[in-house]
Amino acid sequence: MTSPLDRMMDFDLTEEQRLVRRSVREFAEKEILPHVEEHERASRYPTELIRKLVPLGYFAPMVPEEYGGSFVDVMTYGLICEEIARVDWVVASVISVTNSLVVGSILKYGTPAQKDRWLRAIARGELITSACLTEPGGGTDLGNMATVARRADGGWRLTGSKVFISHAAHAGLFFVVASIDREQKHKGVTAFLVDPKATEGITIGEFPMRTLQRDNLAEVHFQDAFVPDDALLGAPGQGFPVLGSALDMGRFSVAARQIGQAQRCVDLAIPYALEREAFGQRIGEFQLIQQKITDMICRLQQARHVVYQLGRMKDAGTPRCSMEASMAKLLASQAAVANALDGIQIFGGYGLSAEYEIGRILLEAKAMEFGEGTSELHTKLIAEYALGARKQ
Is 369 labeled as catalytic in the residue annotation?
no
Answer yes or no whether residue 377 interacts with ligand FAD by CB under 6 A.
yes
**Which of 182, 144, 138, 188 shows the shortest CA–CA distance to 163?**
138
Q: Residue 294 Cβ, how far from ligand FAD at the closest point, in Å?
A: 29
User: Residues 207, 163: contact at Cβ < 8 Å?
Assistant: yes
Q: Residue 312 Cβ, how far from ligand FAD at the closest point, in Å?
A: 26
Residue nearest to ligand FAD (CB): 139
Binding test (CB under 6 A) with ligand FAD, winner from 71, 164, 175, 252: 164
Question: How close are the terminal C-alpha atoms of the chain, in Å?
Answer: 43
Q: Among the candidate windows 153-161, 261-269, 332-340, 366-374, which touches ligand FAD by CB under 6 A?
A: 366-374
The phi, psi pair for 145, rounded to 5°, reads -60, 135
Q: 249 or 297, CB closer to ligand FAD?
A: 249
Q: Among the candidate windows 65-73, 110-118, 263-271, 372-380, which touches ligand FAD by CB under 6 A?
A: 372-380
Answer yes or no whether residue 165 interacts with ligand FAD by CB under 6 A.
yes
Binding test (CB under 6 A) with ligand FAD, winner from 44, 185, 305, 380: 380
H or E segment at 156? strand 155-166
Q: What is the DSSP string of 266-333?
A: HHHHHHHHHH-EETTEEGGGSHHHHHHHHHHHHHHHHHHHHHHHHHHHHHTT-S--HHHHHHHHHHHH
Q: Residue 101 Cβ, how far from ligand FAD at the closest point, in Å?
A: 8
Q: 165 or 307, CB closer to ligand FAD?
A: 165
Q: Residue 131 Cβ, how far from ligand FAD at the closest point, in Å?
A: 5
H or E segment at 337? helix 322-347
Alpha carbon distance 231, 21 (integer Å): 36
Binding test (CB under 6 A) with ligand FAD, winner from 98, 147, 166, 322: 166
Q: Residue 263 Cβ, how far from ligand FAD at the closest point, in Å?
A: 20
Q: Among the candidate windows 125-133, 184-192, 315-323, 349-357, which touches ligand FAD by CB under 6 A?
A: 125-133
Q: Residue 14, Cβ neighbours under 10 Å: how many?
A: 12
Residues touching ligand FAD, count (CB under 6 A): 20
> Site residues for ligand FAD, window 127-156 (CB under 6 A)?
130-134, 138-140
Answer yes or no whether residue 370 interacts with ligand FAD by CB under 6 A.
yes
> Site residues for ligand FAD, window 182-221 (CB under 6 A)?
212, 217
Q: Residue 349, Cβ neighbours under 10 Å: how many?
A: 7
Answer yes or no whether residue 100 interacts with ligand FAD by CB under 6 A.
no
Q: Residue 376 Cβ, how far from ligand FAD at the closest point, in Å?
A: 3
Catalytic residue among 29, 372, 376, 384: 372
The phi, psi pair for 268, rounded to 5°, reads -85, -35
Q: 15 or 391, CB closer to ligand FAD?
A: 391
Alpha carbon distance 255, 261 (integer Å): 10
Answer yes or no whether residue 371 interacts with ligand FAD by CB under 6 A.
yes
User: Residues 166, 93: contact at Cβ < 8 Å?
Assistant: yes
Angle between helix 358-368 and 239-275 (nearest 10) = 160
Q: Based on the number of CB atoms within 10 Å of its own CB, is 198 exposed (0-12), middle (13-18) or buried (19 or more)? A: exposed
Q: Among the candidate windows 7-15, 25-33, 103-111, 124-132, which touches ligand FAD by CB under 6 A?
A: 124-132
Q: Based on the number of CB atoms within 10 Å of its own CB, is 52 exposed (0-12), middle (13-18) or buried (19 or more)? A: middle
Alpha carbon distance 20, 256 (integer Å): 15
Ramachandran area for residue 219 (φ above 0: left; ψ -120 to 50: alpha; else beta) = beta
Q: Residue 243 Cβ, how far from ligand FAD at the closest point, in Å?
A: 10
Q: Residue 380 Cβ, how far from ligand FAD at the closest point, in Å?
A: 5
Binding test (CB under 6 A) with ligand FAD, winner from 11, 376, 389, 392: 376
Answer yes or no whether residue 57 interacts with ligand FAD by CB under 6 A.
no
CA 205 to chain centre: 22
Answer yes or no whether residue 222 interacts with ligand FAD by CB under 6 A.
no
Contact set with ligand FAD (CB under 6 A): 130-134, 138-140, 164-166, 212, 217, 367, 370-371, 374, 376-377, 380
Question: Any idea which residues carry the catalytic annotation?
Answer: 372
